[in-house]
A = this chain, B = another copy of it.
Amino acid sequence: MKLKAVLFDLDGVLYQGERAVPGAAEAVAWFRERGIPHLFLTNTTSRPRSALVEKLARMGIRVSEEDLFTPPVAARQWLERRRCRSIALFVPGATRKEFEGLDLAGDEEQTAGAVVLGDLGEGWDFATLNRAFRLLMADEKAPLVALGLTRYWKAEDGLRLDVGPFVKALEYATGKEAVVLGKPASPFFQAALERLGAGAGDTLMIGDDIRGDVEAAQRAGLRAALVRTGKFRPADLELGVEPDALLDSVADLPGWWAAHAG
């Protein structure tokens, strides 16, 4: 295998809950010190990148904000590379910051160059969803850009719909297929590769999710390592997905890389 770059999953690989996986800080430092291109991929959009950087720092893991690759970061890059103008945002307030400086559509505009959908939560009502729908119908070339396809999440008071169901509603209503910038969709991995300037075949994804990390990365042409931490269960190995590497934890990645990546 000839590998040049790494994509790290966060939750379950570098930490579990509020505790670092032993050896994670050293593993990340190993790649940083050698100048091996890498990014940290996460679908989390509920808090700003700075909060994630602080959380990791509290656990002794040094990561810079620029190396955190989230759906909004990927979407911004995707929109910039296609020179999209008059972009209509349907994302929560904290996520809007990630799109500062782009050419954004005003609330009253009847057309848009692109429609970006995030987890608006309580912000969704009929008028808001219908506005996104009309903008997509007003210009058949306007893409529907989705910050992931997560179905729901568990809030304190019970389950809550995430962005995915609203993306599916608009896909069905408009007949358009969304560009999904979040795991496990291939465009998210491709955007990360563009950012690194790396080829798919030269890049390793390391994750704890046999479907969302390993299978998804391999579908996008990447190599993928599975760790036995986080949500890993032995039964994951019987699903017909063959990781390129199987490691006890991210702590073993530098040793594996030294032996196999050349």
Q: A interface vs B, CB < 8 Å? A: 120-127, 129-130, 133-134, 137, 151-152, 158-161, 164-166, 168-173
Minimal beta-carbon separation of A121 from chain B (angstroms): 6
Minimal beta-carbon separation of A243 from chain B (angstroms): 26
* B-chain residues with CB within 8 Å of residue A120 when the two chains form the complex: 126
Contact check, A123 vs B124: say whether CB atoms are below 8 A apart: no
Known interface pairs A124-B125, A125-B124, A125-B125; A130-B161 also in contact (CB < 8 Å): yes
Q: Within the oligomer, what is the number of copies of this chain?
A: 2
B125, B169, B171: the one contacting A166 at CB < 8 Å is B169
Contact check, A165 vs B169: say whether CB atoms are below 8 A apart: yes
B123, B151, B169, B171: the one contacting A161 at CB < 8 Å is B169
B123, B133, B159: the one contacting A137 at CB < 8 Å is B159
- Measured in the bound complex, the distance between the Cα atoms of B164 and A161 in whole Å is 17
Closest B residue, CB atoms, query A168: B172
Contact check, B123 vs A126: say whether CB atoms are below 8 A apart: yes
- Measured in the bound complex, the distance between the Cα atoms of B129 and A121 in whole Å is 11
Contact check, A126 vs B125: say whether CB atoms are below 8 A apart: yes
Known interface pairs A168-B168, A172-B164, A173-B152; A124-B126 also in contact (CB < 8 Å): yes
Closest B residue, CB atoms, query A149: B172
Known interface pairs A152-B133, A168-B168; A126-B173 also in contact (CB < 8 Å): no
- Measured in the bound complex, the distance between the Cα atoms of B126 and A170 in whole Å is 15
Minimal beta-carbon separation of A77 from chain B (angstroms): 26
Q: A161-B169, A165-B170, A168-B168 are in contact. List 4 more A-B contacts (CB 8 A).
A: A125-B125, A130-B159, A134-B159, A164-B172
- Measured in the bound complex, the distance between the Cα atoms of B169 and A134 in whole Å is 18
- Measured in the bound complex, the distance between the Cα atoms of B53 and A203 in whole Å is 67
Closest B residue, CB atoms, query A137: B159
Max count, chain B CB within 10 A of own CB: residue among A122, A126, A134, A166: A126
B121, B125, B165: the one contacting A173 at CB < 8 Å is B165
30 contacts between A and B (CB under 8 A): A121-B126, A122-B126, A123-B126, A124-B126, A124-B129, A125-B125, A125-B126, A129-B161, A129-B165, A130-B159, A130-B160, A130-B161, A133-B152, A133-B159, A133-B161, A133-B165, A134-B159, A137-B159, A152-B173, A161-B169, A161-B173, A164-B172, A165-B169, A165-B170, A165-B172, A165-B173, A166-B169, A168-B169, A168-B171, A169-B169
